[in-house]
A and B are shown apart, each in its own frame.
Chain A
């Protein structure tokens, strides 16, 4: 599962055609969802699949097809210096984090102690974190309205 997640992540960024990159991203998100299943968090895993693969990946695919262009397939490859800098930065951060993890005693936690079910999640969301839920609903509505306004305003400009 980890191999699927990381391999698809690399495909998402390195695929020549951006549409294959979008599919790779969907695969990587699916890999993360399976890791959630392994972690005994099925509700979040299903939520992840529904939201990311059901909505975000499809949205990205639609955008890619909507604005598809020949130029994208011949995307300018980054200069080797940029690429080297990117690999160095990413590897440095990953290695530093991994060394930090190895240095701790996190490996002693081998049992999943959490038994929270979706009932507990529901109770927590609808009681203590209800204000956050409401604010989140407003944020979602605002983002949808903003996205619609962006594309509509542009159409009016073209009409004039």
Chain B
């Protein structure tokens, strides 16, 4: 009942919602939410393709854990990124009492 295209379509919708949030929102935390949604859409694609498509690499590599392995790395990277962004948000809030990205003029180069 579930085929590969179902998961890819859900992933595309999730990515579209993320892009919408990235374009419309100005609150730094909302931007973080949107980026996390887009990362999750990409991860979902990795897993879906990795699980449905046969792996045609060398037989020396174990079945095909490649998709899942990459998603594990990607989740760890996303967590690190979220930690840094939240630290920046806290500092920006202490300095400006605001997290609206269009108000953070002092960060302009």
Which A residues form the contact surface with B (CB < 8 A)? 2, 5-6, 9-10, 12-13, 18, 21-22, 25, 28-29, 32, 35-36, 38-41, 43-44, 47-48, 51-52, 55-56, 59-60, 63-64, 66-67, 69, 71-72, 75-76, 78, 82-83, 85-87, 89-91, 93-95, 97-98, 101-102, 104, 106-116, 119-121, 123-125, 128-129, 132-133, 136, 139-140, 143-144, 146-148, 150-151, 154, 158
Contacts and interface: CB of A to CB of B under 8 A. Distances in A.
Contact of B7 (A35, A47, A113, A119): A35
- Dominant secondary structure at the B interface: helix
B91 A82 contact: no
Contacts of A36: 44, 47
Contacts of A72: 27
Contacts of A56: 36, 78-79, 82
Given A47-B75, A59-B82, A6 B10 contact: yes
A64 B29 contact: yes
B80 A139 contact: yes
A147 B86 contact: yes
Given A18-B29, A35-B44, A125-B69, A150 B64 contact: no
B5 interface: yes
A113 B15 contact: no
Contacts of A75: 27
A120 B20 CA distance: 37
Nearest to A85: B23
Contact of A116 (B23, B62, B88): B62
A41 B47 contact: yes
B83 A143 contact: yes
A66 B89 CA distance: 11
A32 B65 contact: no
